């Protein structure tokens, strides 16, 4: 069920269990409007819906921030008002705590930003992150009260972890014949933070609190991310080393279109019923852009611009994972023959799952990799299929448009060598660690 760090997937929000049959009735009414909105969809940008700072949905972060106060020097005053916007000061504080937890020490010569006084309680932390260019740059104004985005925090944390080789492999993702795939900014960091469990997935009743990677980050989310980072065991950090060798199979033009449409949404949150990277109205509520598992399939095959223009999802009729799994029986593919663009389904009895029980779907990238939106990762990410949810892997389906086509071959300039390490940030450390205990 689990391998090392990989938690079993949560394909619906934390407290919600609704059958596909009931769920599709609720979703069907929104599809027409979503399709119209998709026609003018912009790239995967996050827009904040400005929820109230005291929203009870933020209470989950009380535990993480109390742990930071008790063991990592976080000020006790920050345990209240968890829904307010996080600041650059607080991110600097969290990054310094993470570097301390990893046995790192500040450089001998710290450059204090001109807008930070010598007696500022966070002067050392802010000077540390700006001197090492984790956040800001030496000698420049720091703007400690300014907001930070989720992506800014993720990029900095991944750098502290010394995962340069993994980031490089993901950011230069290519096929066996050297064709580079188009991926969004900070793609590598978005994948790694999801796979390391640094994102929080809000229950469906609080989907309005979700936000994408470029939106201002809430204190609750920053505290949860920092707490998960400073308490991360070495085996879990080491488990993402598998990304250093990621290479995908050669693809047809249609396969490439679907794959790039899905990869473009990496970093977007898991939103129950979501089918768009843009703010959307679902079940009468306005929520952020984001996707549930089958919503990502719907977007990648049917709603994103290039896929819609080509009609790549014309034989995908069902909106839910279960509906997709049972239509067009002739398209069913055994797991041993899964190829790029196939839909991979999961159910409680694996290949023996019954109609009505398929609860998750992912898109195959080939070579054992999938792109999916799942609650266990907090949204859209790239995962290795082996060990993700072994007992539940049911079967695959190959849509008609994924069956034919000429392989794309684009000569790629040889990528620069990945960074070996970041000595000023992670002296004597790497991302690897001892093997974890056996999974239960």
The set of catalytic residues is: 293, 360, 372
Q: Strands 360-366 and 290-291: what pairing?
A: unpaired
Contact 326, 347 (CB under 8 A): no
In whole angstroms, give the CA distance from residue 345 to residue 123. 51
| Residue 200 to residues 11, 37, 67, 240, 270, Cα–Cα distance (Å) | 14, 27, 16, 19, 10
> How would you classify the pairing of strands 369-374 and 290-291?
unpaired
Tokens of 373: 């939106």
- Round the CA-based radius of gyration of the chain to a whole number and report it: 22
Distance CA 342, CA 329 (A): 14
Query: Any residues with CB less than 8 A from the CB of 212 and at least 6 apart, and which?
Result: 44, 45, 46, 47, 150, 267, 268, 269, 277, 288, 289, 290
Q: CA 169 to CA 166: how far, in whole Å?
A: 5
Structure tokens at 27: 């979703």
């Amino acid at each position: 069920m689990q391998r090392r760090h990989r938690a079993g997937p949560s394909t619906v929000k934390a407290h919600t269990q609704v059958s596909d049959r009931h769920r599709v009735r609720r979703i069907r009414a929104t599809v027409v409007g979503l399709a119209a909105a998709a026609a003018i969809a912009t790239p995967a940008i996050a827009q904040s819906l400005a929820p109230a700072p005291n929203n009870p949905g933020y209470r989950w972060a009380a535990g993480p921030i109390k742990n930071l106060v008790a063991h990592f020097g976080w000020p006790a005053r920050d345990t209240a008002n968890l829904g307010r916007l996080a600041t650059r000061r607080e991110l600097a504080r969290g990054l310094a705590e993470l570097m301390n937890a990893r046995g790192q020490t500040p450089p001998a010569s710290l450059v204090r930003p001109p807008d930070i006084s010598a007696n500022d309680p966070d002067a050392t932390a802010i000077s540390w992150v700006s001197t090492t260019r984790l956040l800001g740059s030496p000698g420049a104004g720091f703007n400690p009260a300014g907001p930070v985005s989720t992506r800014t925090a993720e990029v900095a944390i991944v750098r502290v972890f010394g995962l340069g080789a993994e980031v490089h492999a993901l950011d230069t993702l290519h096929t066996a014949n050297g064709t580079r795939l188009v991926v969004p900014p900070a793609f590598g960091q978005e994948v790694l933070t999801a796979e390391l469990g640094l994102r929080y997935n809000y229950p469906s009743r609080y989907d309005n609190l979700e936000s994408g990677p470029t939106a201002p980050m809430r204190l609750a989310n920053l505290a949860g991310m920092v707490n998960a980072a400073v308490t991360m065991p070495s085996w879990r950090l080491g488990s993402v080393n598998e990304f250093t060798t990621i290479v995908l199979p050669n693809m047809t033009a249609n396969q490439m279109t679907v794959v790039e449409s899905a990869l473009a949404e990496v970093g977007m949150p898991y939103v129950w019923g979501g089918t768009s990277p843009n703010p959307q109205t679902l079940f009468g509520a306005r929520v952020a852009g984001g996707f549930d598992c089958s919503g990502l399939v719907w977007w990648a095959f049917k709603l994103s611009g290039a896929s819609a223009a080509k009609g790549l999802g014309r034989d995908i009729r069902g909106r839910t994972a279960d509906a997709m799994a049972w239509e067009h029986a002739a398209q069913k593919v055994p797991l041993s023959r899964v190829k790029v663009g196939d839909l991979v389904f999961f159910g409680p009895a694996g290949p023996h799952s019954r109609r009505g029980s398929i609860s998750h779907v992912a898109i195959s990238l080939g070579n054992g990799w999938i792109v999916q939106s799942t609650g266990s990762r907090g949204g859209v990410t790239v995962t290795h299929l082996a060990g993700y949810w072994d007992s539940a892997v049911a079967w695959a389906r190959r849509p008609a448009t994924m069956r034919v086509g000429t392989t794309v071959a684009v000569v790629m300039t040889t990528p620069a060598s990945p960074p070996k390490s970041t000595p000023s940030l992670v002296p004597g450390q790497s991302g690897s660690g001892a093997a974890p205990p056996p999974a239960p």
